Amino acid sequence: MMASRFALLAFLALLAGCKREEREARLAPPIAEAQGAVLVMPNGISGRPHDVIAAQGDAFRNNAYQLSQGKRLFEWFNCQGCHADGGGASGPALMNGWWRYGPDPVSIFLSIRDGRPNGMPPYRDKLTTEQIWQLTGYLQTLGASTASLASTSRNDAMHSRPAENRAPAQAGHTTRPSP
Amino acid sequence: MNTARLPHLFLLLPLAGCSGWQSALDPRGSTAEELHGLFWLFTITCTAVWGAVLLVLAAALWRRRHPAGISEAQQARSERRSGVAIGAAVAATVVIITGLTFASYLATRGIAEEHPEALTIRVRGYQWWWEVLYADSAPHRAFLTANELHLPVGRPVRLELATADVIHSFWVPNLAGKQDMIPGRENVLVFTPREPGTYRAQCAEFCGIQHAHMALRIVVEAPADFERWREAQIAEAAPPMTPEEEAGRQVMESKACGACHTVRGTAAAGTLGPDLTHVGGRQTIAAGMLPTTRGSLAAWIADPQTVKPGNNMPMVPLTAEELQAVSAYLARLR
């Protein structure tokens, strides 16, 4: 009797897995505006995102839909043109854990929105604030050294680096790459 | 109304599908005609066979069993008769199935025919719209458009079907059968539109949350009208005529619009969304969502995620003046 009740409870617990991930297609305009209001350090490197990002559960890092949108934007807006598939070409690599302006999401956000010296163009007139955050969230997964529950889907074509939905290998870099 | 009649009215409802601008039972093209003939041949033959089987079943149920004490001669005669009947039924089955197979073979062979003088058009499915490329041996005469296909009546057309993302399926019931658009390969559909008119196509393979809103219009027109339309499409975008339209062009070029959309003849040269060079001349916007008017263009730009949730057009923050200007400009691009 006790055992069958326990089995029933276990089955009910399984049903919790049926909940679908939230997919927010339309961001209310005031929230979209707030997402762009980042506090930046005077040197333009690092800062603090608006509270609204945390209030939404850091969706750009934790939501598979947001990450997938970031992955599509990476291809659509030709990030590969300079950064290759994340390994770097005429632009720096994005997946070795070394960030020229620090690993802070605000720094990555600012690099995309406002551009950086030596070639990185600003995308503020090409992408919306939400899209820049989606890209930022996706870029952070490229060099991640810890596994995450949310990930994009795999490529249809051959991967030139480990698929995003694979748990990352232990970070093995000991020396900083020459700039 | 008498409520007892209501079920009868519902029975009549399916008949509404027998004609109209999106119906396989109202063929206006070569392939659709072949398939239409095949459909009725199969339907009538199978109905006749079904009726015959039911008749025989009813007769068998109706007839009384033989009384227990019949002579051996009578029994032998009865067995011979049923042997003949079963043999005839088997022969009829073979003849009918062979006939239908042959008819189906002939019809599909007719569909696959190639025509050297066919008009070649490349159609590419996107989530959730259609890109249409009219190829030409002279590169400056090739042009892109979206969600609307113009065809000259009576000339064979060769559609090269591809996809940019997931599997879609191209289906204009009035003109031709379904053909899937599969990532990494190109499928070809050849048919000849026979009657002028406007037909509706719909993606026929579930391709994501806005699959139901992935429609395409096909305008079949006289060859002279088609050539006129084609020349107009080849031309660059119409220049802005008023200061408001000029402001709209600047919004198009300087805001995010130009990052995804092309307006030939301006700095807007993005390739991710539909080509907007002659968007004002198309009957609908957003793959059949709304009729093209200045108002619907403004509504779409102001909030694309409410009109068609999940589509890839972001809500770009614009001031009221910018929105007015850009919608005036786009409506003018005929």
Residue B103, domain CATH: 2.60.40.420
Q: Is the pLDDT of residue A174 over 60?
A: no
- A96 falls within a domain: yes
- ipTM of the complex model: 0.82
User: What is the rounded average pLDDT of the residues A41-68?
Assistant: 90
Top-confidence residue, A153 or B132: B132
Q: Is A27 at the interface with chain B, CB within 8 A?
A: yes
Under DSSP, the state recorded for A120 is B
Are residues B188 and B153 located together in one domain of the fold? yes
Residue from A105, A18, A126 nearest A61 by CA: A105
Closest chain A residue to B302 measured between Cα atoms? Answer: A29
Are residues B99 and B161 located together in one domain of the fold? yes
- A32 falls within a domain: no
Q: Is the pLDDT of residue A97 over 90?
A: no
User: What is the rounded average pLDDT of the residues B303-313?
Assistant: 93
pLDDT, one tens digit per residue, over B162-174 is 999 999 999 999 9
A130 contacts B314? CB cut-off 8 A: yes
Q: Is B184 at the interface with chain A, CB within 8 A?
A: yes
pLDDT, one tens digit per residue, over B179-230 is 999 999 999 999 999 999 999 999 999 999 999 999 999 999 999 999 999 9
Residue A78 region by backbone torsions, left for phi larger than 0, else alpha for psi between -120 and 50, else beta: left
- A166 falls within a domain: no
- A101 falls within a domain: yes
Q: What is the SS3 assignment for B274?
A: coil
Are residues B175 and B314 located together in one domain of the fold? no
**Angle formed at CA A118 by CA A111 and CA A71, multiple of 5 degrees:** 40
Are residues B168 and B297 located together in one domain of the fold? no
Chain A residues 115-174 within an 8 A CB cutoff of chain B: 125-128, 130-131, 156
Chain B residues 115-144 within an 8 A CB cutoff of chain A: none
- A65 falls within a domain: yes
E-state strands within chain B? 119-126, 129-134, 143-146, 148-152, 157-163, 168-170, 179-181, 187-191, 197-202, 215-221, 284-285, 290-291
Are residues B210 and B297 located together in one domain of the fold? no
Is B258 exposed, middle or buried (CB count within 10 Å of its CB: 0-12, 13-18, 19+)?
buried
A125 contacts B255? CB cut-off 8 A: yes
- Between CA B56 and CA B92 the distance in angstroms is 14
Q: Is A14 at the interface with chain B, CB within 8 A?
A: no
Are residues B150 and B38 located together in one domain of the fold? yes
CA dihedral A124, A130, A136, A140 (to 10 degrees): 180
B272 contacts A126? CB cut-off 8 A: no
- B6 falls within a domain: no
Q: Is the pLDDT of residue B81 over 60?
A: yes
- Between CA B164 and CA B262 the distance in angstroms is 17
Q: Which DSSP helix (H) or strand (E) runs through A40? A: strand A39-40
Q: Is the pLDDT of residue B40 over 90?
A: yes
- A49 falls within a domain: yes
Look at the block and give the residue holding tokens 């199978």: B46
User: What is the rounded average pLDDT of the residues A91-106?
Assistant: 90
B184 contacts A32? CB cut-off 8 A: no
Q: Residue A156: its chain B contacts at CB < 8 A? A: 183-184
- B192 falls within a domain: yes
Q: How far is B127 from chain A (nearest CA, A)?
A: 12
Q: Residue B306: its chain A contacts at CB < 8 A? A: 26
What's the number of domains chain B is made of?
2
B259 contacts A127? CB cut-off 8 A: yes
Phi/psi at A25 (nearest 5 deg)? Answer: -85, -35
Are residues B258 and B204 located together in one domain of the fold? no
Q: Is the pLDDT of residue A115 over 60?
A: yes
Nearest by CB to A128, from B256, B272, B303: name it: B256
Given B185, B204, B229, which residue is the final one in a domain? B229
* Of the listed ranges A104-113, B7-16, B88-97, the one predicted with least confidence: B7-16
Under DSSP, the state recorded for B186 is -
- B190 falls within a domain: yes
Q: Is B53 at the interface with chain A, CB within 8 A?
A: no
pLDDT of residue B4: 62
Given B229, B264, B289, which residue is the final one in a domain? B229
- A113 falls within a domain: yes
Are residues B195 and B93 located together in one domain of the fold? yes
Q: Assign B14 a pLDDT band (cuts: 50, 70, 90).
A: low
- Between CA B131 and CA B149 the distance in angstroms is 10
Q: Is the pLDDT of residue A39 over 80?
A: yes
- B159 falls within a domain: yes
Q: Is the pLDDT of residue A168 over 70?
A: no
pLDDT of residue B264: 94
Closest chain A residue to B304 measured between Cα atoms? Answer: A26
Q: Residue B259: its chain A contacts at CB < 8 A? A: 77, 125-127
- B71 falls within a domain: no
A32 contacts B259? CB cut-off 8 A: no
Report the share of chain B in percent with pLDDT over 90.
79
Given B229, B251, B284, which residue is the final one in a domain? B229
Q: Is B99 at the interface with chain A, CB within 8 A?
A: no
Strands B148-152 and B215-221, bridge-based pairing: parallel
Q: How far is A127 from chain B (nearest CA, A)?
A: 6
Q: How far is A124 from chain B (nearest CA, A)?
A: 8
Are residues B247 and B135 located together in one domain of the fold? no
Closest chain B residue to A23 measured between Cα atoms? Answer: B310
What's the number of domains chain A is made of?
1
pLDDT, one tens digit per residue, over B41-58 is 999 999 999 999 999 999
B314 contacts A128? CB cut-off 8 A: yes
B310 contacts A125? CB cut-off 8 A: no
pLDDT of residue B222: 97
Q: How far is A25 from chain B (nearest CA, A)?
A: 5
Count of Cβ atoms closer than 10 Å to residue B213 Cβ: 19
Q: For B69, what's the count of Cα atoms within 13 Å in the CB-facing half-sphere? A: 0
Q: Is the pLDDT of residue A25 over 80?
A: yes
- B155 falls within a domain: yes
Q: Residue A77: its chain B contacts at CB < 8 A? A: 259
**Boundaries of domain holding B134:** 20-57+78-229
Q: Assign B66 a pLDDT band (cuts: 50, 70, 90).
A: low
Nearest by CB to B310, from A25, A127, A130: name it: A25
Chain A residues 43-102 within an 8 A CB cutoff of chain B: 72, 76-77
Nearest by CB to A128, from B254, B309, B316: name it: B316
Q: In this structure, what CATH number is given to the domain that contains residue A107?
A: 1.10.760.10
pLDDT of residue B70: 75
Are residues B40 and B154 located together in one domain of the fold? yes
- B216 falls within a domain: yes
Start-to-end C-alpha separation, chain A: 68
Report the share of chain B in percent with pLDDT over 70.
93
Considering chain B, what is the average pLDDT of its residues? 91
- B11 falls within a domain: no
pLDDT of residue B6: 64
**Boundaries of domain holding A99:** 40-142
Q: Is the pLDDT of residue A173 over 60?
A: no
* Of the listed ranges A4-8, A53-57, B7-11, B216-220, the one predicted with least confidence: B7-11
Q: Is the pLDDT of residue A170 over 60?
A: no
Are residues B258 and B187 located together in one domain of the fold? no
Per-residue b or e along A19-40, where b marks 16 or more CB atoms closer than 10 Å to that residue's CB: eeeeeebebeeebbebbbebee
pLDDT of residue B307: 94
pLDDT of residue A142: 85
- A161 falls within a domain: no
pLDDT of residue B225: 96
Q: Is the pLDDT of residue B275 over 70?
A: yes
Beta-bridge partners for B160? B122, B188
pLDDT of residue A159: 79
pLDDT of residue A1: 67
pLDDT of residue B76: 87
Are residues B44 and B166 located together in one domain of the fold? yes
